[in-house]
Amino acid sequence: MKLFYKFILLLSFFIIISDVTVNAQRRRGKAKKVVVKKKAKKISNLNSSNQSKSNNDSVPEKVVTILSAFKPQLKNLAKIDFATASERNDTGSIKVEYQVPSQNLSFQYQPIALVPRSFKYDSFNTSAAITNVKVGYGNFFHYLIDLYYNVTGKNNNTHSFNINTESIEGTHHLQKYKDWGVGYIGDYVFSNQGHLLTNLYFKESNRFRFGLVPDTIIYPSSNYKQNSYLSGISFSWLNAHHSNRNLHMSPNLVFEYFEGIKGRNNHWLQLSNPLLIDINNGIKVNLDVSYSINTYNNLNSENQTNSLLKFDPAIRFNKLNSVFKIGFSPVLMNKDFKLFPNVEFKKSLKDTNITFVLGWRANVNNTQYANLVAQNPWIDAPEKLAMTTKDSKYLEVNMTSGKRLSYGFSFSLDDYENLPLFNKIMSNNRNTSGLLYQTAFEKKASTIQFDANLRYQFSDVLLVSNKFKYIQFNSIQVNAKPWGILPIELNSQISWLPSKKLIINGGIQYWSGATLYNESSLPYDLNNALNINAELHYKLTSKWNIWIKGDNLLDKPYERWADYPSLGVQFIAGIVYSFK
């Protein structure tokens, strides 16, 4: 009996020692990969039959095998106490098998019983509409009224309506204007296919030509009318279909009608379709196309039609840690065909926040009468409209400093064809009709242009943006000077939110005077101009806001166009009422 107890004691000691050794080996590696194998009955039976020869216990059919995918290694001893030693890697893998009960390998899902309920959909259900009413009044009999209405209806379709009017009178009896307009913006959602954006607008501008007209002379106001009317409609489709995320397209249709002085009008229609195909491996293909037709009723009561068809095929790919864009732009202007390059190289310097962009491209503009009036509101109806081409070779450098500050500059060599210039019409009947400017399309001109920008943003509290532009004409073929072009422009804007209720906006505009004719038909430069403006909004309640705006705070009248001086310091204040 004592011999039997000694045998039992030695066997227990051997089992304990073996178990400690196996556990020590298991702790060497951290298991990451778990493989669950469900062995077939035939294979498991075969394995069990083979093992039964050496062991009478049965082996379960379901076995979980854990393989170590992590290769543990000791710290490099050379890093410890700076002693010289070589690292030791553990290249062996440990295989451990665990027995898992069969009932824990699969679980049966039993859904609960569903009770049908009736549901009625309200097709007229809409979210609360938002309405804003903004009114203001200031010096020079300046008043402003702006009504805005926004509502979201069925299928999340959004509709926005806007009506506004503004009027001001100056020191001269003809120095006054009155503008008013209406607009509609709609966003129609078509299931998961995309969005249809619509824009319908109309604007009327009433001005009088007071340049070089004595305030003591009284003629009918109709002699000096400088009215204009602009109406248009546009449709844009935004593709949101998820079946093909590599295809991005946004077709656009725009139609505008503009009427200026003497009943001269302009019809403009444009069709465009930016198309981007995103291929794997960072390769993108552009297949942009645009077409526009412009019909102008000129001074000779003859209709002039300009048509422009432009393709912009290009391929963009990543190579050598850089972005390459290679393409070309075939353009058909009326019956003239031209081919322009469209290439670009973009490189970000390693371990820096500096990006270089080097490229060569051309922009072709089917000039509209409305665009010319937007540049100079005092022009006479042009004799003809010409398409403007800008062929640009440029270099851009962009830099960032953290997440708040970004700045950069660009340098370009530009070649223009049919660049619009503006100069005074030397006429003897200015007292009876006012001063008018003529539009002269420069046939060929080459320039050097330098642009710089700086932007700083601190969360949603502070935003500062600055833009600088300098242009120098190296050659000009027809005109003696680049009439009406500003050599230097500086624009700075700031938006500050000191508190949740207060918003402060400000701006500074500076430019050097353009070159024009004087009364002796000799060229001269206008004085440089500096304009400072500021605007303040304060929230009284959830519905009421007050605002005040000041323009030309230095109280120094300036002239963007000769003999049309601006007013002195202008203030206007009012309220905004918002309700649902």
**pLDDT, position 96:** 45
What per-residue confidence (pLDDT) applies to 315?
96
pLDDT on residue 65: 54
The half-sphere exposure of 353 on its side-chain side, counting CA atoms within 13 A, is 10
- Give the model's pLDDT for residue 300: 66
| Euclidean distance between CA atoms 207 and 435, whole angstroms | 13
How far apart are the C-alpha atoms of 570 and 560, rounded to whole Å?
17
Mean pLDDT, residues 381-402: 95
| pLDDT > 90? residue 538 | yes
pLDDT over 60 at 278, yes or no:
yes
Residue-wise pLDDT tens digits, 451-488 = 999 999 998 899 999 999 999 999 999 999 999 999 99
Q: What is the mean pLDDT of residues 50-68?
A: 48
Quote the Cα angle for 444-449-454, to 5°.
Answer: 150
pLDDT over 60 (residue 558): yes
- Average pLDDT on 354-378 reads 96
Of 85-94, 322-331, 506-515, 544-553, least confident by mean pLDDT is: 85-94
The pairs formed by 273-281 with CB atoms below 8 angstroms and a separation of 24 or more are: 273/249, 274/248, 274/249, 274/250, 275/247, 275/248, 275/249, 276/247, 276/248, 276/249, 277/246, 277/247, 277/248, 278/245, 278/246, 278/247, 278/248, 279/246, 281/317
Instruction: Quote the pLDDT of residue 521.
Output: 83
Structure pTM?
0.76
Higher pLDDT, 82 or 570: 570
Type of residue found at 146: D
Judge contact between 356 and 344, C-beta under 8 A.
no
- CA-nearest of 475, 431, 429, 470 to 453 is 470
The percentage of the chain sitting over the pLDDT mark of 90, rounded to a whole number, equals 65
Categorize the per-residue pLDDT at 309 as very low, low, confident or very high, splitting at 50, 70 and 90. Answer: very high
Q: Which residue has the tokens 């708040």?
A: 404
Higher pLDDT, 116 or 164: 164
- Write out pLDDT tens, residues 165-223: 999 999 999 999 999 999 999 999 887 778 899 999 999 999 999 999 998 888 999 99
For β-strands 283-297 and 265-273, DSSP reports them as antiparallel
pLDDT band, very low/low/confident/very high, at 104 (cuts 50, 70, 90): very low
3-state helix, strand, coil in the chain (%, to 5): 10, 55, 35
Residues whose CB is less than 8 angstroms from the CB of residue 516 and which lie 6 or more positions away in sequence, other chains included: 423, 424, 483, 484, 523, 524, 526, 561, 562
pLDDT at 21 over 50: no
Fill in the DSSP letter of residue 541.
S
What confidence score (pLDDT) does residue 289 get?
A: 97
User: Do 354 and 348 touch, CB atoms closer than 8 A?
Assistant: yes
| Mean pLDDT calculated for residue range 372-390 | 95
Average pLDDT over residues 482-509: 96
Q: Which one has a higher pLDDT value, 149 or 29?
A: 149
Q: What are phi and psi of 25, to 5 degrees?
A: -70, -35
pLDDT of the residue at 543: 93
Q: Which pLDDT belongs to residue 64?
A: 52
Q: Which of 114-118, 358-362, 502-506 has the lowest mean pLDDT?
A: 114-118
- 380 beta partners: none
Of the candidate ranges 21-30, 343-352, 423-432, the one whose mean pLDDT is the lowest: 21-30
Count, residues in the chain: 580
